């Protein structure tokens, strides 16, 4: 596929994503992030697959970077979700 078409698809997807997230009320950002962890998991699987079949060294480096960034996103997302869920737990007596 032509690289210019791929770049155009990336730019359009980034713009649409920015517009969609920009219209979400602030109270829904954390639950939305929790749901996005599943999509990041799919991204991680795609990065692992693409890196496994990569032929060139540059492609493998980019695949490794994609794996690292997806893992950071997943870990941080679950951390924020865990912190949000702790806010709704009942406070236990310390006695």
Give whole-number Cα distances, 50 to 13, 17, 38, in Å: 20, 23, 19
DSSP state of 53: T
**Is 37 exposed, middle or buried (CB count within 10 Å of its CB: 0-12, 13-18, 19+)?**
middle
The residues near 40 (Cβ < 8 Å, ≥ 6 apart) are: 70, 73, 74, 77
Of 81, 82, 49, the residue nearest 67 (C-alpha): 49
In this predicted structure, what is the pLDDT of residue 11? 92
List the pLDDT tens digit at each of the 95 positions of the chain. 788 888 898 899 989 888 887 777 767 766 776 677 777 788 888 888 888 988 889 889 998 998 998 888 888 878 877 887 787 777 775 55
What is the structure's pLDDT at 94? 56
Tokens describing residue 76: 């941080």
């Amino acid at each position: 596929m032509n690289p210019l078409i791929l770049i155009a698809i990336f730019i359009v997807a980034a713009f649409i994503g920015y517009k969609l997230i920009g219209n979400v009320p602030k109270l829904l950002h954390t639950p939305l992030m929790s749901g996005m962890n599943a999509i990041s998991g799919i991204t991680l699987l795609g990065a692992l697959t693409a890196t496994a079949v990569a032929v060139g060294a540059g492609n493998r480096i980019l695949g490794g970077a994609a794996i690292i960034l997806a893992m950071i996103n997943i870990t941080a997302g679950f951390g924020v979700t865990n912190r949000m869920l702790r806010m709704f737990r009942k406070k236990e007596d310390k006695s």
